[in-house]
Structure 1
Amino acid sequence: MLRQLSESANPLLSTYPFRLAPDGLATRRQLRATGLRPGGQDICAQVMWLSRRYGRRIRVAYLYRIDRALPVRPMTPAKWAALAAANAARRICPNCRTDAGYVIPTSLDECVSCAYPEEPRAA
């Protein structure tokens, strides 16, 4: 297993085993959880592990320096409005043009009432 990890590692990056990265480094998700973002900095290291969940494939998580990370940009009113409009559009059925009251599943591409018109509805 160690040979597999070393063969697939990027030779330009420091590589650490799972959960053994040094302090001061974090993944994108870890940065975001603390209200930070990479801020344009390059990847400085990587964590590699053999995942049993994904068919025993080697997984990689890139690490960034926390001291170089920048605060997350705040949402502007325009961004909030765009996000609300996008979420509202996901609720409107393209067939009957009504608000379904839920996000329409991509597997159906229409509301449940239009997808299954013959089934009885609960009152």
Structure 2
Amino acid sequence: MGRIRAAYWDPEGTRYGIPTFWWQGASPGYATRRQLRARGLRPGGQPIAGQILWRGIGGTRAAYLYRLDLARPKRTATPAQLRAVRAALTARRTCPTCRQVRPYYIPRSRGECLTCLPL
């Protein structure tokens, strides 16, 4: 075990307060948010159960770990929520001057589509 890895090895949490592992050295019962999402899960309000520390650009980097047995299934959007998002995205593409729905988002700095802009 190298010095760098040994500095980040604290599975009991005595040095850092929570169980700490080196890069790719976490126990099987833990997962990061991205790993949970890939499995169709979410943390579900549980506290951070551990961390991974490694040396990166700008100093020591950290990735927080959550327990797999306490994770909950991801929530799905209701049909009403999906309709609301679709309407909001359509409103961002609708020009207030000519009322045309464009295939791009209307620039907020300009306030109208590129066709209506004075040159």
- Same-fold call, TM cutoff 0.5: yes
Which residue in 2 is equivalent to 1:101?
Answer: 103
Which residue in 1 is equivalent to 2:18?
Answer: 13
Q: Aligned partners of 1:33, 1:76: CA distance in 2, in Å?
A: 21
SS at match of 2:93: coil
Q: Aligned partners of 1:90, 1:23: CA distance in 2, in Å?
A: 44
Q: Aligned partners of 1:100, 1:36: CA distance in 2, in Å?
A: 36
SS at match of 1:99: coil
Instruction: Give the CA deviation at 1:97.
Output: 4.3
Instruction: Give the CA deviation at 1:31.
Output: 0.6
Which residue in 2 is equivalent to 1:64?
Answer: 66
TM-score normalised to structure 1 length: 0.69
- Within 5 A, what are the aligned runs for 1:1-123? 2=4, 11-52=16-57, 56-93=58-95, 96-104=98-106, 110-113=112-115, 117-118=118-119
Q: Aligned partners of 1:61, 1:94: CA distance in 2, in Å?
A: 44
Identity %: 48
AA of the residue aligned to 2:93: R
Q: Aligned partners of 1:37, 1:114: CA distance in 2, in Å?
A: 45
Aligned length: 109
TM-score normalised to structure 2 length: 0.71
Q: Which moved more, 1:60-69 or 1:106-115?
A: 106-115
Q: Which has the higher contact order (CA 8 A, sep 6+)?
A: 1
Which residue in 2 is equivalent to 1:121?
Answer: none
Q: For each residue in 1:27-81, what CA deviation from the matched residue of structure 2 results, as whole angstroms up to 9, or x when unmatched?
A: 11111111101111111001122223xxx33221111011110111122111111
**Aligned-pair RMSD on alpha carbons?**
2.8
1:48/1:84 CA distance change after superposition, 3 Å: same
